[in-house]
A and B are shown apart, each in its own frame.
Chain A
Amino acid sequence: MNRKSKLMAGLLGLAFLTLCAGTAWASGGGTEAAAATGMPQDGSPWWYWPIILLVATFIMGIVAVLGGVGGGVLFVPIISGFFPFHLDFVRGAGLLVALAGALAAGPGLLRSGLASLRLAIPVALIASSCAIVGAMVGLALPTNIVQIALGATILGICVLMLTAKKSTFPDVPESDKLGSILKIYGVYREESTGETINWKVHRTPLGLLLFVVIGVMAGMFGLGAGWANVPVLNLLMGAPLKISVATSKFLLSITDTSAAWIYMNQGAVIPMMVVPSLVGIMLGSFVGVRILKVVKPTFIRWMVIGILAFAGLKALSKGLGF
């Protein structure tokens, strides 16, 4: 890794950790108690936390692109861990942030043929239905239970990121019966080699079953589900990696829509949190794509895993009352 890459990665990491530490210190331990009495929390002007949120999500947007993760998986654990917002509103905002990112990327991915509507539509029906269940359960459970479950899930995601392999072109000898009936197959041109790739899937029933779990978790925790979608589509069902990544991104626009409506209808959306987050992540993603050429993604991915592990432990400790 060259000097410029190391310097940039180091600066990003330092900026982010400083921001997290600063927000954790500023938000303090008695925030919720102070809020419950209706007393002012920390004397800061009303725009202070939204601006910090904008900056934090901007950095998150950059880091997410460089680390190859969705913004959603970073948003909920980090914002809930280090900001004074209640987890209910963080999850609502997280879903809308992931949704906005998917809506922004979806048209291009569909037009290029990298995202497959045929692969997405059956999967989306399962995931979006279950996301409704997850959102309702998540809003009904006591906050500390959700924090503990969130912490455990985030740590599980870290393990998955460390251990999961990728398969650029999985070997799928033949489509299974359900995949054939649903006609889940396609053709795309691999730009890096100029090859035309015919793809199909297998293990479709098991894949659809896993999307039940993915949908519930997406709704419950307000996480984008890209971290789970891609391994299932790629490693289990055998879709090529690019098709899996692109279809996963597009899929979020449907899965997160259903869960986001539940949070909205239950009042768990605060525009002062949603809009700065949305703008920050989108701007950050835009910048991240541009500096991707300069920074080595592997190092950033390790940094993302480290940040997520820290956030996961923080969520666990909050849930356990430490």
Chain B
Amino acid sequence: MSQDQKIGPSPEQLLYANILNKGMLAGLIILLITFALYVFGIVSPYVPLDKLSNYWGLGVNDYLHELNIPTGWAWLGMLGYSDFLNFIGIAFLAGVSIICYIAIIPTLLKNDDKIFAVIAILEVIVLTAAASGIFGSGGH
């Protein structure tokens, strides 16, 4: 067995870290801006702020039914409401790992690290499948 004797992260690890950092900061900034638009009433929400507490004690299925909220990526069609605007930042934070994995695959292939490249591709497939909504929508 040969070990990497060089101390310090590999190039793909540094690349992953840099993209993760930028993505995380961008997602957080977006989230804070949209949340400010929401709580300060600059953009009207779908669920009025003073009514929200009537519903957050319900199970997710009852919540969606009572408020007639669609699931999956349908929130993209509701960006005119400030509560749904927050999903942009949330989706960004949840999606940044996918971008990082895609970014390191060429480096892994270039280094002939085929096994890890395959694992990374599989991970992209898993995370993308989770993000796509193919695993169903609507609670119990």
| B110-140 Cβ-contact flags toward A at 8 Å (1 or 0) | 0001011001101100110111010111111
B53/A84 in contact, CB under 8 A: yes
Produce 1/0 per residue, B79-123, CB < 8 A to A.
000010011001101111110000010000000010110011011
Whether A47 and B57, one on each chain, are in contact in the complex, defined by CB atoms closer than 8 angstroms, is no
B87 & A31 in contact (Cβ 8 Å cutoff): no
- Tell me the complex Cα distance, A122–B119, Å: 7
| Contact A139-B94, Cβ < 8 Å, known A110-B20, A125-B126 | no
CB of A132 within 8 A of chain B?
A: yes
CB closest residue in chain B, given A196: B7
Knowing A46-B49, A96-B90, A267-B63 are in contact, say whether A35-B56 is a contact too (CB < 8 A).
Answer: yes
**CA gap between A223 and B48 in the complex, in Å:** 30
A257-B127, A258-B130, A275-B35 given; A85·B7 CB < 8 A = no
Indicate if the CB atoms of A253 and B20 lie closer than 8 Å.
yes
Residues of A within 8 A of B49 (CB): 46-47, 272
* Docked-complex contact B7 and A124, CB < 8 angstroms: no
User: With an 8 A cutoff between CB atoms, is B76 at the interface?
Assistant: no
| Interchain CB contact under 8 A, B10 and A84 | no
Which residues of A (57-85) have their CB < 8 Å from a CB of B?
Answer: 84-85
Q: Is A173 at the interface (CB under 8 A from chain B)?
A: no
Chain B residues contacting A112 (CB-CB under 8 Å) are: 9
Question: Hey, which chain B residues are within 8 Å of A198, CB to CB?
Answer: 3
- By secondary structure, the B interface counts as helix
**A207 interface residue (CB < 8 Å to B):** no
Contact with B along A257-271 (1 / 0, CB 8 A): 111111011111111
B57:A41 contact, CB within 8 angstroms: yes
The stretch from A155-163, A185-193, A237-245 touching chain B is A185-193
In the complex, residue of chain B having the shortest beta-carbon distance to the beta carbon of A257: B97
8 Å CB contact of B93 from A96, A113, A124, A132: A96
What residues on A are CB-neighbors of B91 within 8 Å? Answer: 264
- CB closest residue in chain A, given B118: A125
A97 CB → nearest B CB, Å? 11
Task: Determine whether the beta carbon of A84 is less than 8 Å from that of B57.
Answer: yes
- Say whether A110 contacts B16, CB under 8 Å: yes
Complex-state Cα separation, A38 to B58, whole angstroms:
10
Report the nearest A residue to B138, measured CB to CB.
A266
Per the bound structure, the CA–CA distance linking A86 and B140 in Å amounts to 13
Q: Which residues of B contact A117 (CB under 8 A)?
A: 9-10, 12-13, 16, 104
* Chain B neighbourhood of A39, CB < 8 A: 54
| B95 CB to nearest chain A CB (Å) | 8
Within 8 A of A (CB), among B11-30: 12-14, 16-18, 20-21, 23-24, 27-28
Asked if residues B136 and A266 are in contact (CB atoms below 8 Å), the reply is yes
Once the chains bind, are B7 and A106 in contact (CB under 8 Å)?
no
Residues of A within 8 A of B97 (CB): 253-254, 257
Instruction: Check B60–A264 contact: CB distance below 8 A.
Output: no
Decide if A153 is an interface residue (CB 8 Å cutoff): no
A window 97-128: CB within 8 A of B: 99-100, 103-104, 106-108, 110-113, 116-118, 121-122, 124-125, 128
A1 at the interface (CB under 8 A from B): no
Among residues 3 to 53 in chain A, which have CB atoms less than 8 Å away from a CB atom of chain B?
Answer: 31-32, 34-36, 38-42, 44-47, 49
Contact call A261/B94, Cβ cutoff below 8 A = yes
Contact of A265 with B119 in the complex, beta carbons under 8 Å: no
- Since A32-B58, A36-B58 are in contact, a sample of 20 more A-B pairs with Cβ atoms closer than 8 Å, ordered by chain A residue number, is A35-B54, A35-B58, A40-B54, A41-B54, A84-B56, A96-B90, A100-B24, A103-B24, A107-B20, A125-B119, A128-B126, A132-B126, A142-B140, A254-B127, A261-B94, A265-B71, A271-B83, A271-B87, A272-B83, A274-B86
